[in-house]
């Protein structure tokens, strides 16, 4: 990664997924909806109508499949981040915060992973004390960004 990672540029775009697959699936859905409308309105044949409705259902299923594939991958990534960060917290947090490691939600942990080692103890304390839950709000508080170039 040539540019230093920060809040403004940390979101990962996968061109094949975001710019090819999703638009193609949405186009397929739109074409299927149009086909259902066209066949139902102009042809009225039950076989043709059945075929285009089956096509529409398949188009919807493909969009759901793409969405679930992305959600499942992000869920696994969050579980790995939780494990890595809990180990990191054991090394970096002061003794009074170590017993509270299990109080961090997955959203807090995922956001705090970008905090530098030096910055983590103070930010972790603030997140717990103020009960901050928003990933975005926590990330915006980070001054010294710790890049995560292996994110999905």
Q: How do the domains of the chain map onto residue ranges?
A: 12-141
CA-angle at 87, arms to 98 and 144, nearest 5°:
85
Asked whether 119 and 143 are in contact (CB, 8 A), the reply is yes
- Token pair of 143, please? 């001054």
pLDDT given at position 43: 65
Predicted TM-score of the model (pTM) = 0.71
Number of H helices, E strands in the chain: 6, 0
Q: Extract the residue ranges of the chain whose pLDDT is less than 70.
A: 1-2, 43-47
Q: Which residues contact 27 (CB under 8 A, 6 or more apart)?
A: none
């Amino acid at each position: 990664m040539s540019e230093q990672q920060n809040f403004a540029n940390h979101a990962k775009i996968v061109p094949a997924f975001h710019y090819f697959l999703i638009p193609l699936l949405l186009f397929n859905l739109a074409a299927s909806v149009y086909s259902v409308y066209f066949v139902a309105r102009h042809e009225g044949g039950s076989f043709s109508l059945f075929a285009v409705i089956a096509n529409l259902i398949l188009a919807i299923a493909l969009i759901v499949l793409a969405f679930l594939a992305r959600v499942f991958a992000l869920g696994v990534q969050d579980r790995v981040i939780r494990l890595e960060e809990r180990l990191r917290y054991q090394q970096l947090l002061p003794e009074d915060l170590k017993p509270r490691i299990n109080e961090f939600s997955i959203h807090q942990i995922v956001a705090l992973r970008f905090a530098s080692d030096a910055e983590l103890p103070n930010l972790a304390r603030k997140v717990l004390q103020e009960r901050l839950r928003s990933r975005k709000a926590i990330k915006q508080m980070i001054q010294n960004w710790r890049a995560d170039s292996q994110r999905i």
